[in-house]
């Protein structure tokens, strides 16, 4: 996969894109990531890419000319490349969206800034708009890092184990079950005996039930769309009725 990022602040990506899983994926040739400075596509010596909004109002707006020229140059006019604007007005970024984006060969992410972009960019240039949450950031750069991280880890061969990606929180529609490691007892708090039993069927069942219970407690809204078996539904009902002890 190739990912291009268009931004006013390329330096914000130096750390996040050169560490951990993303860096290893780049070194192994599983993903190419290029960061482009939007000011390189301005037509004046000051690199001006924004202007005052027509009709008045506070703040500045990114002009259409540098954005259109940047995208056309980077993509080479390839209309199949998804052009994604990171904006609080976009659709909410979820695991399913990350899976969708990971299915493309290329992505181009535009980091919004200031009061936003000229509306003609939305109408005639971008193909998608994504928000990572209902809060305000100074710009789209942190959101772009989130999207890149979530997408790259889903690419074939990036993670050492398929299972680690499948069992992560939200990957199955539920929050992930609790994890424990050594020592068996820490400050008087023991590891649940079932995890020490060696019975893989019991362990799998315990983990599934813990994932269901945790999702009920912290994100009950996720249960509405999660793929639940008949056994899962029975367990949920028993927890709701209080017929099971607390975890």
Asked about 115 being catalytic, the answer comes back as yes
Q: Single out the catalytic residue among 129, 168, 176, 232.
A: 168
Asked about 134 being catalytic, the answer comes back as no
| CA nearest neighbour of 2 among 84, 72, 93, 104 | 104
Q: What are phi and psi of 212, to 5 degrees?
A: -65, -45
Report mean pLDDT in 10-residue bins for the chain, 247 residues. Answer: 98 95 97 98 94 92 97 97 96 96 98 93 97 94 98 94 56 88 94 96 96 95 93 94 77
Asked about 153 being catalytic, the answer comes back as yes
Q: Single out the catalytic residue among 50, 66, 118, 153.
A: 153
pLDDT number for residue 172: 73
Buried b (16+ CB within 10 A) or exposed e, 96-122: ebbeebbeeeebbbbbbbbebbbeebb
155: Cβ contacts below 8 Å, ≥ 6 apart? 1, 25, 30, 31, 102
Asked about 224 being catalytic, the answer comes back as no
pLDDT number for residue 163: 47
Strand-pairing partners, residue 109, are 5, 84
- Ordered domains of the chain (ranges, CATH): 2-152 (3.40.1280.10), 171-241 (1.10.1270.20)
Q: Single out the catalytic residue among 88, 128, 178, 208.
A: 88
24: Cβ contacts below 8 Å, ≥ 6 apart? 158
| CA nearest neighbour of 67 among 44, 37, 46 | 37
Q: Single out the catalytic residue among 40, 69, 100, 115.
A: 115
Predicted structure pTM score? 0.88
């Amino acid at each position: 996969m190739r990912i291009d990022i268009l931004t006013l602040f390329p330096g914000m990506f130096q750390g996040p894109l050169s560490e951990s899983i993303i860096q290893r994926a780049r070194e192994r040739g599983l993903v190419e990531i290029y960061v482009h400075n939007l000011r390189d596509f301005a037509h004046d010596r000051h690199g001006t890419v924004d202007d005052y909004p027509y009709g008045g109002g506070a703040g500045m707006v990114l002009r259409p000319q540098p954005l259109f020229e940047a995208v056309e140059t980077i993509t080479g006019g390839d209309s199949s490349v998804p052009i994604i604007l990171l904006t609080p007005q976009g659709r909410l970024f979820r695991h399913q969206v990350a899976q969708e984006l990971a299915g493309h060969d290329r992505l181009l992410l535009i980091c919004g800034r200031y009061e936003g972009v000229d509306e003609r960019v939305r109408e005639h240039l971008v193909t998608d708009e994504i928000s990572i949450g209902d809060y305000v950031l100074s710009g789209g750069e942190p959101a772009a890092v989130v999207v890149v991280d979530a997408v790259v880890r889903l690419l074939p061969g990036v993670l050492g184990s398929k299972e680690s990606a499948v069992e992560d929180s939200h990957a199955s529609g539920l929050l992930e079950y609790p994890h424990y490691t050594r020592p068996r007892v820490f400050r008087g708090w023991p590891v649940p005996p079932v995890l020490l039993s060696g019975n893989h069927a019991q362990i799998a069942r315990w983990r599934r039930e813990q994932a269901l219970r945790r999702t009920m407690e912290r994100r009950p809204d996720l249960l509405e769309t999660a793929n639940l078996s008949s056994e899962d539904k029975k367990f949920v009902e028993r927890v709701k009725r209080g017929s099971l002890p607390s975890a």
